[in-house]
A and B are shown apart, each in its own frame.
Chain A
Amino acid sequence: MKIVKRVLLAVLLAVLIVFPMSYDNAYVHILLSQTLVNIVIVMGLNFITGLTGQMNLGTAGIMALGAYIAALTSTRLGTSPWIGFLLAIVMGVAIGWVLGYPSLRLKGVYLSLTTIGFSEIVRLVLTNWVELTGGTMGVQGVPHINLFGYVLDTSRKVYYLYLVVVILLAFTAWRIVHSKWGRVFKAIRDNVEAVEACGIDIAKLKIQAFTLATVFGCLGGAMYAYLMGYINPTTFTTDLSANYLIMMMLGGIGSVVGNILGATMITLLPEMLRFLGTNYWLYFSIIALLFAIFLPNGLVSLFTKENRLGMFWMAKKEKTGGRR
């Protein structure tokens, strides 16, 4: 099984490397890079909402702050995009504390409203603080990333950098999910009182989970800014936050593989269904509904041993006596 998994992973990696090389279309490269950005953000959301069960609907605001701090420092101060990435991480840590504290007192729908409020405040400030942010005109001319003197001036080049970043972040996220942190985050989701009775400081852990989410979110925002070269506040609406939530839910809550599948599906689906025109949302809603009914644990549950594909896999394994 381990060998099969490794082979599949190697094939997937090969496709991810070779496909953009052979397909010379900037639009496709941007779309693939956007998918990678979304994967980073959903992996972050997974820590706080997927694992810890704290409903965060402020992802767009988090992403916006990461995007703006990176874009503004690079355009106004002329600093390297790497400084922009670093500042986005620092911003993520700061927001983690700001958003983490309300979560100690609030839960459920009240926490959702607080995070929506945070996101809307961020958007309104970005829209109205024209001198700093450019208002609705946004920030233009965000510079290209310079990798040891090699300028990433095409979306294909950016794609390859982001692919490496996403692989590293996915590995980090996977390690956290499968460590004592992943376990205790899930425990908080299952039963807070029992976690406290075990001598565990819930406040510290919730803030850690929020901080992980906001660091990934802000980093995703910075990646978005350097990919697009232009950002404006109208991108970062509550719809976007809901979209990230949908990516996480359709992919599979709590699972890094699920996050990757969900982000990929929801980013690429509108492009694949473009021929539907204005009917897209109708069909998308039907698809989401079918998922909720038949795959409540997301796409990733197709590959666990309890489900149909998994059962097929196990049956085949038993039939062959586990021989490959």
Chain B
Amino acid sequence: MMEPVLKLEHVTKRFSGLVAVNDLSLEMPKNCIHSLIGPNGSGKTTTVNMITGVLPVSDGTIFYGDTQISGKPVFQIARLGIGRTFQNLKLFSSMSVLENLMIGAHQMTRIGLIQFLVDLRGEKREEKLLIERAEEVLEEIGMADLRHEKVKNLAYGKQKMTELGRALMMKPDLLILDEPAAGLNPSERREFVDILLKTHEKGIDLFLIEHNMDVVMNISTKITVLNFGAKIAEGNPYEIQNNDEVIRAYLGDKYKPVDLPPAVEG
């Protein structure tokens, strides 16, 4: 059997008396778009924060491939190839779109401070490569014309796209997206989803938290449902839509999946 990309084994997170995530086990297979859904407060973001090292696990173990990542600091987990975006945008607001993206690949640069101080040209060469990579990603996310714009001046949808671009700059193998479609209008949502699918086609596995069920049901290959911090169901979109407990706890019996509207060109 193929080794899972991501594996959570009996993971629990407690905040004093509150159990935010309770004995959660899940496996994310390779070449997968895995969604984590559930009502507000069900422990989705806490789970992602444990995977990415922002929060330590109270119990249990998390593996990325065959590497145990629970207990490692955030930056080391990211360096293993896990990129992420945030539920509440975390951008470098005083900087341009291009600079935001370049920070995404900062850890790949090699020249140290001492070498930089004595070698006037070395850093310029590295900077040029960084800009070239950022230009490629800007083309991928359709923001090439906004490269010098300050991110604080951009519309929310473009800010989300910038955050995605920054994560892509890391050349991740696994991309974790916390509510990527939240706050986007239908056209922006379609555009965002198209970029996600193209990203997935390039071999990047996606793990998303999402409340928009049209997005989840249209693109996911596997879905895990949480309620009150515990897993209540897991399966493909069809299985989840027809799971009585999921319908009762989250989807509601009126939910009918629809195809996403097309993106507006230009």
Give me the interface of A with B, judged by CB distance under 8 Å: 172, 175-176, 179-181, 183-184, 186-187, 189-191, 193-202, 208
Contacts and interface: CB of A to CB of B under 8 A. Distances in A.
B170 A198 contact: yes
Contacts of B170: 198-199
Contacts of B75: 196, 198-202
Contacts of A195: 103
Given A180-B127, A199-B170, A191 B94 contact: no
Given A172-B117, A180-B109, A187-B95, A197 B102 contact: no
Contact of A198 (B94, B103, B127, B130): B103
Contacts of B116: 175-176, 179, 181
Contact of B94 (A176, A186, A199): A186
A183 B169 CA distance: 16
B123 A184 contact: no
Contact of B91 (A175, A179, A183, A191): A191
A208 B113 CA distance: 8
B196 to A, nearest CB: 18
Dominant SS at the B interface? helix
A180 B105 CA distance: 10
Interface residues of B, number: 36
Q: Is the interface of A mostly helix, strand, loop or mixed?
A: helix
Contacts of B74: 193, 196-197
Interface stretch (B9-17, B63-71, B78-86): B78-86
6 A-B pairs closest in CB distance: A199-B78, A194-B90, A199-B107, A190-B92, A196-B74, A199-B79
A198 B166 contact: yes
Interface of B: 52, 54, 73-76, 78-79, 83-84, 86, 90-95, 99, 102-104, 106-107, 109, 113, 116-117, 120, 123, 126-127, 130, 166-167, 169-170
Contacts of A180: 102, 106, 109, 123, 126-127, 130
Given A196-B74, A197-B78, A187 B92 contact: yes
A180 B99 CA distance: 9
Given A183-B103, A196-B73, A197-B83, 11 more contacts: A175-B117, A181-B113, A187-B92, A190-B93, A190-B94, A196-B75, A197-B86, A197-B167, A198-B107, A200-B75, A201-B107
Nearest to A190: B92
B37 to A, nearest CB: 22
Nearest to B80: A199
A197 B107 contact: no
Contacts of B90: 191, 193-194, 197
A172 B78 CA distance: 31
Contacts of B130: 180
A194 B93 CA distance: 11
B113 A198 contact: no
A104 B28 CA distance: 34
A128 B166 CA distance: 53
A48 to B, nearest CB: 14
A178 B104 CA distance: 17
Contacts of A175: 116-117, 120
Contacts of A196: 73-75, 78
Contacts of B84: 197
